[in-house]
């Protein structure tokens, strides 16, 4: 008798679960992911022409001025000391973007909490930048967020590049904080993105991934962005899409995989 009451209580609790924060107020959400210098901001700018899309760029300016402190610069220059506070602040600012209300039917975000977790934090831990204790604290935060805050992610667009290409782009744009970033770091981040979005070793395998060839120069990349429009808008009206990574330019798949 007591066992039957116990199971009934558990079932009732499961059926009456309180919704997570921001669970019912987010539109179809697209996450733009890729290495440093892969063209994420340029991709976002391509969608400025659409009135019914909320565009949220990576909050770099906030990371550069936290009460007068440039956390991004400190993270690059003294990574062993500043990686943990920087990633903590990245988590906060990304959560604000994820949960930001909008009356638009589509939200497109530059990067996400997921790339912070599955690419940057994992890479920092693997290369020894993050102490095991710091890493475990961040994992506890991520688990708490998973349980209590809804992170909408309907489609991921992966701007796939080679590390050598983005290294040259990074040098060209000459962001002061990135002046000390070596090619090796970009190679590590490339592997992290591939493990997450191509090989699906981390994260939610049910979130569809659209892969674009972002090695193209600015004169030709617009055609890739244009082709992505159909995939995004078809998905936003809930048409069935494949769970395996989708290559918008299949002819380039072999070259990118090599």
The whole-number pLDDT of residue 10 equals 42
Mapping DSSP to helix (H, G, I), strand (E, B) and coil, where does residue 85 land?
helix
Q: Is the pLDDT of residue 46 over 70?
A: yes
226 is in an annotated binding site: no
What domains can you pick out in the chain, each with its CATH number?
Answer: 27-257 (3.40.50.300)
pLDDT tens-digit series, residues 131-150: 999 999 999 999 999 999 99
Helix (H, G, I), strand (E, B) or coil at 53: strand
As beta bridge partners, residue 107 has: 29, 54
220 is in an annotated binding site: no
Beta-bridge partners for 29: 107
Looking at residues 13-36, what average pLDDT do you find? 84
Which strands, in side-by-side order, build the sheet including 28-34? 53-56, 106-110, 28-34, 155-160, 209-213, 246-247
What percent of the chain clears pLDDT 70, i.e. is strictly above it? 84
At residue 238, the pLDDT reads: 56
Q: Which helix (H) or strand (E) holds 33?
A: strand 28-34
Q: How confident is the model at residue 245 (pLDDT cuts 50, 70, 90)?
A: low
How much is the pLDDT for 246?
59
Contact between 166 and 40 (Cβ < 8 Å): no
Q: Helices in 21-78 by DSSP H: which ranges?
A: 40-46, 60-64, 71-77
Q: Report yes or no: 169 and 130 within 8 Å, Cβ to Cβ.
A: no
Is 37 annotated in a binding site? The answer is: yes
Answer for the pair 166, 38: CB distance below 8 angstroms, yes or no. Answer: yes
Q: What angle do CA 20, 24, 30 make, to 5 degrees?
A: 100
Q: Is 172 annotated as a binding residue?
A: yes
Q: Which of 110, 122, 188, 224 is catalytic?
A: 110
Q: What is the mean pLDDT of the chain?
A: 87
- Residue 94 among known ligand-binding residues: no
Quick: pLDDT tens for 105-126: 999 999 999 999 999 999 999 9
Q: Would residue 110 show up in a list of annotated catalytic residues for this protein?
A: yes
Amino acid 160: pLDDT: 96
One-character DSSP codes across 133-188: HHHHHHHHHHHHHHHHB----SEEEEEE--HHHHHHHHHHHT-GGGGG--HHHHHH
pLDDT tens per residue across span 163-212: 999 999 999 888 888 988 999 999 999 999 999 999 999 998 889 999 99
Total Cβ atoms within 10 A of residue 248: 19
Residues counted in the chain = 258
- Read off the pLDDT of each residue in 51-64 and give the average, rounded to a whole number: 96
- 253: pLDDT strictly greater than 60: no
Q: Band of the pLDDT at 17, cuts 50, 70, 90?
A: low
Report the C-alpha gap between 142 and 146 in whole angstroms: 6
37 touches 161 (CB < 8 A): yes
User: How high is the pLDDT of residue 243?
Assistant: 53
**211-224 confidence digits (pLDDT tens):** 999 999 877 788 78
Rounded to 5 degrees, what are φ and ψ at 108?
A: -120, 125
Residue 12 or 185, more confident:
185
91 marked among binding-site residues: no
């Amino acid at each position: 008798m007591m066992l039957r009451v116990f199971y009934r209580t558990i079932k009732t609790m499961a059926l009456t679960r309180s919704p997570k924060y921001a669970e019912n107020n987010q539109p179809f959400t697209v996450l733009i992911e890729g290495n440093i210098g892969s063209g994420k901001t340029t991709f976002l700018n391509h969608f400025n022409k659409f009135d019914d899309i909320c565009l949220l760029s990576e909050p770099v300016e906030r990371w550069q001025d936290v009460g007068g402190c440039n956390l991004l610069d400190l993270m690059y220059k003294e990574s062993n000391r500043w990686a943990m506070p920087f990633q903590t602040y990245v988590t906060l600012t990304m959560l604000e973007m994820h949960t930001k209300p909008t009356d638009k039917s589509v939200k497109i975000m530059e990067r996400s909490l997921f790339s912070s977790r599955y690419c940057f934090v994992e890479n920092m831990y693997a290369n020894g930048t993050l102490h095991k204790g710091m890493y475990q604290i961040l994992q506890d935060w991520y688990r708490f967020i998973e349980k209590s805050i809804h992170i909408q992610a309907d489609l991921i667009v992966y701007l796939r590049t080679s590390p050598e290409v983005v290294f040259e782009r990074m040098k060209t744009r000459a962001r002061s904080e990135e002046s000390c970033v070596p090619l090796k770091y970009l190679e590590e981040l490339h592997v992290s993105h591939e493990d997450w979005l191509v090989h699906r070793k981390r994260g939610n395998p049910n979130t569809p991934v659209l892969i674009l060839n972002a090695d193209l120069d600015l004169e030709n990349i617009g055609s890739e962005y244009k082709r992505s429009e159909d995939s995004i808008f078809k998905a936003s009206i809930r048409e069935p899409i494949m769970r395996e990574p989708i290559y918008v330019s299949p002819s380039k798949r072999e070259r990118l995989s090599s």
